[in-house]
Chains A and B, each alone.
Chain A
Amino acid sequence: MSTTVIRDVSINGERRDVVIAGESIAEVVASGSADTAGATVIEARSLIVLPGLVDLHTHLREPGREDAETVETGTRAAAAGGFTAVHAMANTDPVADTAGVVEQVWRLGAQAGYCDVHPVGAVTVGLAGQRLAELGAMADSAARVRVFSDDGKCVSDALLMRRALEYVKAFDGVIAQHSQEPRLTEDAQMNEGVMSGVLGLKGWPAVAEEAIIARDVLLTEHVDSRLHVCHVSTAGSVDLIRWAKSRGIRVTAEVTPHHLMLTDDLVATYDPVYKVNPPLRTAADVQALRAGLADGTIDVVATDHAPHPSEDKDCEWQAAAMGMLGLETALAVVAETMVVTGLLDWAGVADRMSIAPARIGRLEGQGRPIAPGEPANLVLIDPAARTVVTASALASRSRNTPYAGLDLPTRIVATFLRGRRTYGSDA
């Protein structure tokens, strides 16, 4: 059994030696007291260790769009970003709306071995919003699906949404809603506000997101189920979720790194690298999202990693695809927007990026304490380092990062999936 000793690493500010034996954490002991004989030693005096990150919202594109990303390249990107588990969204081709497709994606993830891949099942057949997909079959499959979403499309039919929320109670599932009222956002290109008026791009009003969230939290209360709100992007949405939680409604929410950092004035470049769904909003929205993440109204950071081939971005704004890469830059952006600003400490980051998403997705071996006997899913971070984002150096098959050229805090030193190093070469 191979042994690795991470020596003198910081766990929540306390210095420890962490001993990994096989797939598990064998010991967490005072610095300098671990037995290093025959072990691989990582000198980690300037580093911190967190439980491996968990993404609730990843587009791996396989099957169907292997030109943009595959399970292998996407999970390599995940490992490079410190993730040990990702939830693969259902909007593939074919759609992940049957046990067969989710098992295929799950198996591809296991074969690639860079991180755990948990397929998200579609709520409706073909994401068409007409009739429920076989949610129970997906839950019972080898992929053990617990998160269901028509992401990219909103389950806008109130009755269908009610039924979905009710039905997944049988297996402790959760409906992850892409909150976008379809009529209010026909052909929408960017946040509706001063910028959309000046730029002559069709607006995407905040109310189109907020109206669906308001309806869904009330439906969730009515049927006493579990709702997860994908990529919250407006200040009004944060208020609604805060209100719903205060009423005891079982709602959780995520925010993407890009909505914590980028604003809609970037659209003035007409560079489609900034085109994303939901759209980049205003500085006031960014501040409200950060505050919501800090106070726990928003439970998790989820990347909405959305790879696109260059021809879908190297074109006019209106013709471009929506979405941006996120896995390899998520931690750095959270450090920049939440840690450097003092809104979250590293324990808070561990909660929002590992513990809470694992809990929402009902993942057993992820988001666990760093303690003896726990699975060795870990990420080792240099918090003082800075990294310049280089699009061509990313592990993802695509290059559509909005952060290219930015100098961001932290560097991921190594990622361990059940004791095996999935990222980081030097010992």
Chain B
Amino acid sequence: MKAHLLSAADLTRDDALLVLDTAQELAQIADRPIKKLPTLRGRTVVNLFYEDSTRTRISFEAAAKRLSADVINFSAKGSSVSKGESLKDTALTLEAMGADAVVIRHSASGAPHRLATSGWIRGSVVNAGDGTHEHPTQALLDAYTIREHLAGGAGDLAGRRVTIVGDVLHSRVARSNVHLLHTLGAQVTLVAPPTLLPVGVEQWPCDVSYSIDAPLPQTDAVMMLRVQAERMDSAFFPSAREYSRRYGLDARRMAALPEHAIVMHPGPMNRGMEIGSDVADSERSVIVEQVTNGVSVRMAVLYLLLGGAPLVADEEESA
């Protein structure tokens, strides 16, 4: 793997499988009474969050702590950032404090890329979601979840059909998933109203449909994206009700899925908007599992980027 995780497109098939396999091994420690490995003892991981994101931040925090890393949480609110400090100066500060890895969430697309390539810091940079660009660890945890359910928990996702529905235009989850799922051999179909698809999407390695109903009967996993209500103020769609009617996953549509298909959502959900409550709480929903798998996948990413001690030895001496 490279020194940073900025985009799911940076991961080769072998890289991606290494992360998933490592995550699988690390997941086993979650079942132990003491959920901790010493592999990153003495290493410092900074969670640099410029956007509110409780679930991603605590997922990374739990991942780092289970590997015994020292974790520093730096959130933009109530910090020097709210006093107008630039990304560069914040980065120089973190470097001076000896950060080995910086996990960054930022509203500006490309901010992790700048952090990694501008020479401000030497540590590894992990993109925890940047603007409307990418969210690679979300794609990894989604691939992990799909693999557990549909591919026997091993190998790649060749031939699996994944349908991603919603605001693709503004979705970093969709971008990262298209890259990663394609790399792993899955066939991806994006579903959205034309206003919520980016220009040039026809060149992405996936199919595109304006209708949710057409692909559902051939879908192994359907992923519903959060749709922000304020999009309708910018005329992306006329009303929440119309969106829900045309693109929401309700019980009737869920019935069109094959027996084995799973329902996913990166959260947080708008129940009643893109996903019905009965669907979210149904047996097919793996939404809570996605959260669990997120910790394992992020442990794997930090472990591999920071070059922790070999896993086998760790397991024996687990403290």
Using a CB–CB cutoff of 8 Å, the interface residues on chain A facing chain B are 189, 192-203, 205, 269-271, 311, 314-319
Contacts and interface: CB of A to CB of B under 8 A. Distances in A.
B318 interface: no
A202 B111 CA distance: 15
A197 B200 contact: yes
B109 A200 contact: yes
A197 B201 contact: yes
A193 B86 contact: no
B130 interface: yes
B75 to A, nearest CB: 17
Given A269-B117, A315-B114, A316-B111, A196 B106 contact: no
B131 A318 contact: yes
B134 interface: yes
A48 B164 CA distance: 62
B238 interface: no
Interface residues of B, number: 26
Contact of B110 (A205, A314, A316): A316
B113 interface: yes
Contacts of B79: none
A336 to B, nearest CB: 26
A196 B199 CA distance: 8
B214 to A, nearest CB: 22
Contacts of B107: 318
Contacts of A319: 87, 108
Contact of A201 (B86, B88, B110): B110
Contacts of B130: 200
Given A200-B133, A200-B172, 16 more contacts: A192-B199, A196-B198, A197-B198, A199-B110, A200-B110, A200-B130, A200-B175, A201-B110, A269-B117, A270-B113, A271-B117, A311-B86, A314-B86, A315-B87, A316-B110, A319-B108
Contacts of A311: 86
Contact of B108 (A192, A196, A316): A316
A318 B109 contact: yes
A314 B118 contact: yes
B54 interface: no
Contacts of A269: 113, 117
22 contacts: A189-B109, A193-B200, A196-B200, A197-B199, A197-B200, A197-B201, A197-B204, A200-B132, A200-B133, A200-B172, A201-B109, A201-B110, A201-B131, A270-B111, A314-B88, A314-B118, A316-B106, A316-B108, A317-B108, A318-B107, A318-B108, A318-B131
Contacts of B118: 314
A199 B133 contact: yes
Nearest to B170: A200
A247 B113 CA distance: 49
A314 to B, nearest CB: 6
A271 B113 CA distance: 9
A402 to B, nearest CB: 16
